[in-house]
Amino acid sequence: MGGEIAVDYSLGRCEVALWSRTPSSLERVAHRAHDLLGTLEGLGIADPDRVAQAQVKLSFTADLGQACQGAALVVECVPEDFDVKVEVLRRVGALAPAAVVASNTSSLGISDLGIASALGGQFLGTHYWNPPTLMPLVEVVVGRETDKRVVAAVLALLRDIGKEPAIVPDIPGFVWNRLQFALLREAARLVQEEGVPATVIDLIVRRGLGRRWAILGPFETVELGGVNTFVTVARRLFAELQAADVDPEVLRWIVDQPPAVARPELIRRRDEGLAAALRAEAMEESHWNQ
């Protein structure tokens, strides 16, 4: 994620120093970042001139002090371990005391991280979605101590590099993962208890829910479909859904089954599909702006 987020900012014409803790991991992420720029050019997301400019704006270092020197924003993307994150965040706070610091955590509390790291009002969460270069949405998580001016500055920067930020509460899982895992829990329950094939669930979400939700959100769907109808159905289903008790380990059993599509094919389908959606959105916006 760190390398892809760095590429995203470099494509947004920001000077970016990408830090990794070891030379070997730094070499891997540098290769990945340069390969990704080529992939984005091939997908029609970035033209050759923009890719060339981004290449120049990216630098790589195993020295955290060098990476933090003169930084206005530091985005932390170390593994999802509270103590590891706090250790890195404290170092960043000492090396770049004037910088805004953002964590890309997907599950740890922003207020808890900020207090433990002693970063005060300069700290908040920016939760990107994989792959960041093809997913415009970023959850901006405001901690109890986060300065409102910091929030405004980060929102402006994210919009400037082409992202679509959404302020969400500092609650476990924020919003996207709350929704994602609620669906995943019910999907796992359907496989485990009702014998629905995982491939059927993937098909229904991709070709049904996913296709419609790309255009209408869940509450817009209720509005269009009729609130009385949805209330009637909800009376039958809400209690059962909320009472679902599913062991998370069932996901390992489901996913460990022989996959219907090889992983490289999944990545290709995901990236090409997301790129096509971005190109279509850009064309639609251009049409309405004429």
Integer Cα distance of 149 and 112 in angstroms: 20
Long-range contacts of 55-58 (CB under 8 A, 24+ apart): 55/10, 57/10, 57/13, 57/14, 57/15, 57/16, 58/6, 58/7, 58/10, 58/16, 58/18, 58/33
Q: Please answer whether residues 153 and 100 qualify as being in contact, where contact means their C-beta atoms are separated by less than 8 angstroms.
A: yes
The type of residue at 223 is E
Q: Is the torsion defined by CA of 171, 172, 173, 179 positive or negative?
A: negative
Q: Which of 31, 34, 127, 287 is catalytic?
A: 127
CA proximity to 170, closest of 251, 98, 114: 114
Q: Is 127 designated active site?
A: yes
Residue whose structure tokens are 């094939």: 197
Known catalytic residues are 127
